[in-house]
Amino acid sequence: MTTYYTSEHEWISVDGDVGTVGITKFAAEKLGDVVFVELPDVGKSVKKEADMAVVESVKAASDVYAPVTGEVTAANAAIVDEPAKVNEDPEGGGWFVKIKLADMGQLTGLMDKAAYEAFCASQ
Amino acid sequence: MTMNSTGRPTSISPVDGAGTLTTVTGSKGLLQAEGLIFEIGSTDKTGVDLAMPKGIKSRLGGVTRGAPTGLPGLTEPEAVRHYVRLSQRNYAIDLGLFPLGSCTMKHNPRLNEKVARLPGFADVHPMQPQSTVQGALEVIEELADWLRKLTNMPAVAMSPKAGAHGELAGMLAIRAALIARGEGETRKRVLVPVSAHGTNPATAVQCGFIIDEINAAPDGRVDLEDLKSKLVDSSDVAGIMLTNPNTCGLFERDIRTIADLIHAAGGYFYCDGANFNAIVGRVRPGDLGIDAMHINLHKTFSTPHGGGGPGSGPTVLSEALAPYAPVPFIVKTAEGLRFVEHHSEAPDSFGRMCAFHGQMGMFTRALAYILSHGADGLRQVAEDAVLNANYILARLKPLMSPAFEGYCMHEALFSDGFLKDTGVETIDIAKGLIDEGYHPMTMYFPLVVHGAMLIEPTETESKAELDRFCDALASIARRAVQKDPSLKTAPHLAPARRLDETRAARSPRLKWTPEAPTLKAAE
């Protein structure tokens, strides 16, 4: 399982042709306490770099962009019920959706962990 | 201690540790402790004592309320005191400089209030015969005339009841124009800069459009290259929604170019006129190629606002959009002024936005403001608003980090750059301001600036008041840079300390429920 990162602070962890998507620890810390999450319905088609979910903290509301094009196969209802999970474990239990990738080639444009950490340090 | 001739001390003795003194009542000095109205109300009291009418026949068809309503009963003085006590915990434009600026409310000249209370304006009813309210119609028409002249636009819809309602009017007019061109189904894309007010994309989506964001350039203005790239294939472009001056408090210098690009692409130009107060009398939007723009009467023309209304958002329209303006609108006839109310007389109108004719009370106040200032005075309003903001920017520049280089318009915008590695955040600066006796500035907006602090002093503040505010904010900025831990727990002197916003948002309690069901119905 390999994890990739976007410059919009999403992560995608790919297993076969399905990727689990969430926001990074860096993003969760920047957002502050998350108080509301809106996820796409299962079965919905999402497009790379288009908004897919909404996350709201006490500071701001932000769009979460799909890191890849594909179809949503699962949505994490736990974070809708308990948004605090996004802050507690953003890169684990606080995942947002699972996406069945339409084009595995889209992963090549994303960052690996080291590149993403360097990117965050430059922010 | 020195005494005066009657033996009273001339100064008070200091009490150590302000706020640590506890009182029996919970009040502090003359600031009264006050509970919720449900907590102070009881069921055996009422403000109005009416005898039960005799011989009532219920016409409710058996659905009469069986259980008590549980509403609290208060005598009239108790009810008055409750709200006055709460109001004393609030901050208001009449108490001091309000750094949220005209977005919330600027000073309401009392002359406006006097005029609005004249019975001929205050006591008219929207369903009166029009022949009996010719004076009121004349006020609406005269205000409309000023708005057309100040914007150099041929038409204005007066009925929208707030800024966002005006946006809706403008975008519905654009949609109607596209439908009339036979392009209602094909032109769906509306370009919106990332720094836009949230209402802009919301309005466009409400009208069935799709949003395409335009990036900001490093100088805080629209990135022209990004805009051009989004117009390469422009067959689906409905228009653009742009605020000028924008939410970063900067004038969009390329606005003529932007208008030309949009028009060449076949789209319309909606301008969010929220910040018209910075350019009124200096710039006419009609000269910039704008097709529609709402004007928030509270922002530019000093009508009261905040706390949910009443707003008023007249929307000026270009020649291209004028035929689609909403009803009702006023026309002059030989018999006087008259509302055009119906589709039969205005076949191209997109329809009606509200039951009557808009906010009469706001029209009267806005016109009073315009007439008492005159054209030269209105120009000075814009000039002083910009001067005051730049004074704040210049005074705080050495201590805080301006978001962009150069002069600003009516709002001074800072980022949290100067707070880097201090552990202090924008929110702590805001809370520190409360201790200094000021309402916080706009924070964390616009979103394109990290940890944004946006300050709009408005035109009516004196240099002395601006200095007082700047001294307060400068002192907080210095404490922040010195990592003063007390800022993290501010406010220390306010009636309420730092509120738990996270818990309030995650598990809001929106309804009061009694600890035990002891409350009986108010008789």
The full length of chain B comes to 523
Query: For the segment A80-89, what is each residue's pLDDT rounded down to a tens digit?
Result: 999 999 999 9
Same domain, B285 and B383: no
Predicted confidence (pLDDT) at residue B507 exceeds the cutoff of 90 = no
- Report the distance separating Cα A71 and Cα A50, nearest Å: 13
Structure token digits, residue A101: 């990738």
Same domain, B188 and B319: yes
Q: Which of A48-62, A78-92, B288-302, B303-317 has the lowest mean pLDDT?
A: B303-317
- Report the distance separating Cα B177 and Cα B170, nearest Å: 11
Interface of chain B against chain A, CB under 8 Å?
A: 427, 444, 447, 501-502, 505-506
Residue A21 vs residues A84, B161, B185: alpha-carbon distances, Å: 17, 43, 34
Same domain, B340 and B436: no
Predicted confidence (pLDDT) at residue B115 exceeds the cutoff of 70 = yes
pLDDT of residue B157: 98
For residue B18, tell me if it sits in a domain: no
For the whole prediction, is pTM greater than 0.90? no
- Chain A, chain B: beta-carbon pairs less than 8 Å apart: 18
Question: In which band, very low, low, confident or very high, does the pLDDT at B20 lie, cut at 50, 70 and 90?
Answer: low
pLDDT of residue B521: 42
Phi, psi of B132 (to 5 degrees): -95, -5
How far away is chain A from the Cα of B502, in angstroms, using its nearest Cα? 6
Same domain, B187 and B329: yes
- B7-31 mean pLDDT: 68
Same domain, B197 and B263: yes
Phi, psi of A51 (to 5 degrees): -70, 145
User: Which residues in B lie closer than 8 A to residue A83 (C-beta atoms)?
Assistant: 506
Measured between alpha carbons, how far apart are the two ends of chain B, in Å?
Answer: 56
pLDDT of residue B308: 55
User: At B402, which CATH number?
Assistant: 3.90.1150.10
- Report the distance separating Cα A64 and Cα A37, nearest Å: 10
For residue B80, tell me if it sits in a domain: no
- B501-507 mean pLDDT: 87
- Report the distance separating Cα B456 and Cα B105, nearest Å: 11
pLDDT of residue B11: 62
Q: What is the ipTM of this complex?
A: 0.75
Same domain, B319 and B391: no
How far away is chain A from the Cα of B48, in angstroms, using its nearest Cα? 43
Q: Helix count (H) and strand count (E) of chain A?
A: 4, 9
Closest residue to B444, CB basis, from A56, A59, A84:
A59
Question: In which band, very low, low, confident or very high, does the pLDDT at B3 lie, cut at 50, 70 and 90?
Answer: low
Compute the radius of gyration of chain B from its Cα atoms. 27
pLDDT of residue B522: 41
Question: In which band, very low, low, confident or very high, does the pLDDT at B67 lie, cut at 50, 70 and 90?
Answer: confident
Is A15 exposed, middle or buried, given 0-12, 13-18 or 19+ CB atoms closer than 10 A?
exposed
Q: What rounded mean pLDDT belongs to chain B? A: 92
- B111-128 mean pLDDT: 94
Q: Which of A84-88, B377-381, B444-448 has the lowest mean pLDDT?
A: B444-448
- Determine the residue among B502, B503, B507 to mutate to test chain A binding: the one whose Cβ has the most chain A Cβ atoms within 10 Å: B502
Question: In which band, very low, low, confident or very high, does the pLDDT at B345 lie, cut at 50, 70 and 90?
Answer: very high
How far away is chain B from the Cα of A5, in angstroms, using its nearest Cα? 22
Predicted confidence (pLDDT) at residue B302 exceeds the cutoff of 70 = yes
pLDDT of residue B9: 65
How far away is chain B from the Cα of A63, in angstroms, using its nearest Cα? 12
Q: Are A65 and A50 in contact (CB under 8 A)?
A: yes
Counted domains in chain B: 2
Residue B77 vs residues B82, B113, B258: alpha-carbon distances, Å: 8, 26, 58
User: Which residues in B lie closer than 8 A to residue A56 (C-beta atoms)?
Assistant: 505
Question: Is A60 in contact with B501 (Cβ distance < 8 A)?
Answer: no
Question: Is A59 in contact with B505 (Cβ distance < 8 A)?
Answer: no
Looking at B346, B370, B394, which one is the last position of a domain? B370
- B256-260 mean pLDDT: 98
Question: In which band, very low, low, confident or very high, does the pLDDT at B2 lie, cut at 50, 70 and 90?
Answer: low
User: Which residues in B lie closer than 8 A to residue A84 (C-beta atoms)?
Assistant: 506
Q: Are B411 and B249 in contact (CB under 8 A)?
A: yes
Right CATH for A2-105 from 3.40.640.10, 3.40.50.300, 3.30.479.30, 2.40.50.100: 2.40.50.100
* Beta pairing partners, B241: B270
pLDDT of residue B16: 47
User: At B366, which CATH number?
Assistant: 3.40.640.10
Predicted confidence (pLDDT) at residue B85 exceeds the cutoff of 60 = yes
Q: What 3-state DSSP class applies to B132?
A: helix
Closest residue to A83, CB basis, from B427, B501, B506:
B506
For residue B26, tell me if it sits in a domain: no
Secondary structure (DSSP) of B420-479: TTTS--HHHHHHHHHHTT----EES-STTSTT-EEE---TT--HHHHHHHHHHHHHHHHH
pLDDT of residue B395: 98
Same domain, B214 and B328: yes
- Determine the residue among A8, A9, A34, A35 to mutate to test chain B binding: the one whose Cβ has the most chain B Cβ atoms within 10 Å: A35
Q: What's the order of all strands across the beta sheet hosting B412-415?
A: B401-402, B412-415, B453-455, B442-443
Looking at B352, B370, B388, which one is the last position of a domain? B370
Same domain, B433 and B490: yes
Structure token digits, residue B120: 């001929």
pLDDT of residue B516: 62
User: Which residues in A lie closer than 8 A to residue B502 (C-beta atoms)?
Assistant: 33, 35, 58
Question: Is B444 in contact with A60 (Cβ distance < 8 A)?
Answer: yes
* Beta pairing partners, B317: B155, B292
Cβ partners under 8 Å of residue A82, min gap 6: none
Phi, psi of B92 (to 5 degrees): -145, 160
Choose between B195 and B410: higher pLDDT: B410
Domain span at residue B482? 377-496
Q: Are B346 and B324 in contact (CB under 8 A)?
A: no
Same domain, B237 and B354: yes
Question: Is A58 in contact with B501 (Cβ distance < 8 A)?
Answer: yes
How far away is chain A from the Cα of B449, in angstroms, using its nearest Cα? 12
For residue B522, tell me if it sits in a domain: no
pLDDT of residue B26: 82
Q: pLDDT digit of tens for each residue in chain A (123 aa)? A: 899 999 999 999 999 999 999 999 999 998 889 999 999 999 999 999 998 999 999 877 888 999 999 999 999 999 999 999 999 999 999 999 999 999 999 999 899 999 999 999 987
- Report the distance separating Cα B290 and Cα B270, nearest Å: 6
For chain B, percent of residues with pLDDT exceeding 70: 94
Question: Is B505 in contact with A60 (Cβ distance < 8 A)?
Answer: no
Question: Is A58 in contact with B502 (Cβ distance < 8 A)?
Answer: yes
- B288-310 mean pLDDT: 89
For residue B340, tell me if it sits in a domain: yes
Same domain, B431 and B490: yes
- Determine the residue among A31, A51, A54, A59 to mutate to test chain B binding: the one whose Cβ has the most chain B Cβ atoms within 10 Å: A59
User: Which residues in B lie closer than 8 A to residue A35 (C-beta atoms)?
Assistant: 502, 505-506
pLDDT of residue B13: 54
Find, among B239, B364, B214, the residue nearest to B289 by Cα.
B239
Same domain, B129 and B234: yes
- Residue B514: is the preceding peptide bond cis (ω within 30°)? no
Same domain, B451 and B329: no
Q: How many other CB atoms are found less than 10 A from the CB of residue B383? A: 16
Cβ partners under 8 Å of residue B16, min gap 6: none
Q: How many other CB atoms are found less than 10 A from the CB of residue B179? A: 14
- Report the distance separating Cα B419 and Cα B293, nearest Å: 38
Q: Are B197 and B274 in contact (CB under 8 A)?
A: yes
